[in-house]
């Protein structure tokens, strides 16, 4: 229920209580704006500035993944040898919350859980780093490992299963 497009800024489509939102990043700031079912802005609708992300956001790689319920945006932030996942509520003046060093965020269909690839070990330029698929519970702020030596999780439409790549077996 979201779409990410790379243009001059990063854009993510969210569905908040059946009212679509567009989240986007420009000049280091995260914004959300309500849109209609056709993806158009209503007359007089203005974007809400949520927060400033990082000082050098223009020179870093950032991607947005919107929660299906529209309450959060997962931000994958890549700078040099660092890749991290941050969460930001879609309310003005929200503060980014660091989940873990990782990538590949995937929201549960109800938006209550975030599966992702946690990266551990050395930095990204060294061979001893490892991947684990983890699940972050937004209700409890608790993270648990779902599968060691795995990556790229993706939730089933009903939220009952997660597909992933199992590195220990070199299989999907």
Percent of the chain's residues with pLDDT above 90: 38
Give the 3-state secondary structure of the chain.
Answer: CCCEEECCCEEEEEEECCEEEEEEEECCEEEEEECCCCCCCCCCCCCEEEEECCCCHHHCEEEEEECCCCCEEEEEEEECCEEEEEEEECCCCCCCEEEEEEEEEEECCCCCEEEEEEEECCCCCCCCCEEEEEEEECCCCEEEEEEECEEEEEECCCCCCEEEEECCCCEC
Q: Which of 6-15, 114-123, 125-134 has the highest mean pLDDT?
A: 114-123
Tell me the C-alpha distance between 72 and 74, whole Å: 7
According to the model, what pLDDT value does residue 45 have?
A: 84
According to the model, what pLDDT value does residue 59 have?
A: 53
Please report which confidence band the pLDDT of residue 78 belongs to, taking 50, 70 and 90 as the band edges.
confident
According to the model, what pLDDT value does residue 60 have?
A: 64
According to the model, what pLDDT value does residue 20 have?
A: 79
Judge whether residue 7 has pLDDT over 80: no
According to the model, what pLDDT value does residue 5 have?
A: 33
CB 154 within 8 A of CB 133: no
* pLDDT tens-digit readout, 14-64: 555 556 788 888 878 888 888 877 778 777 888 889 988 766 555 566 788
Phi-psi label, residue 110: left if phi above 0, alpha if psi -120 to 50, beta otherwise: alpha
Tell me the C-alpha distance between 146 and 135, whole Å: 7
pTM metric for this prediction? 0.80
Between these two residues, 143 and 45, which has the higher pLDDT value?
A: 143
């Amino acid at each position: 229920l979201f779409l990410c497009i790379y243009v001059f800024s990063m854009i993510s489509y969210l569905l908040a209580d059946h009212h679509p939102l567009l989240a986007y990043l420009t000049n280091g700031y995260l914004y959300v704006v309500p849109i209609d079912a056709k993806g158009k802005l209503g007359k007089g609708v203005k974007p809400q500035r949520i927060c400033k992300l990082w000082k050098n956001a223009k020179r870093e790689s950032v991607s947005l993944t919107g929660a299906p319920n529209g309450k959060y945006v997962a931000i994958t932030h890549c700078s040099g040898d660092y890749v991290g996942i941050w969460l930001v509520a879609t309310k003005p003046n929200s503060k980014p919350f660091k989940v873990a060093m990782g990538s590949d965020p995937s929201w549960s269909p109800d938006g209550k859980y975030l599966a992702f690839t946690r990266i551990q070990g050395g930095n990204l330029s060294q061979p001893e780093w490892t991947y684990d698929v983890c699940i972050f519970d937004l209700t409890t702020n608790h993270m648990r490992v779902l599968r060691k030596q795995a990556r790229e999780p993706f939730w089933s439409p009903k939220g009952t299963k997660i597909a992933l790549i199992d590195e220990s077996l070199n299989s999907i």
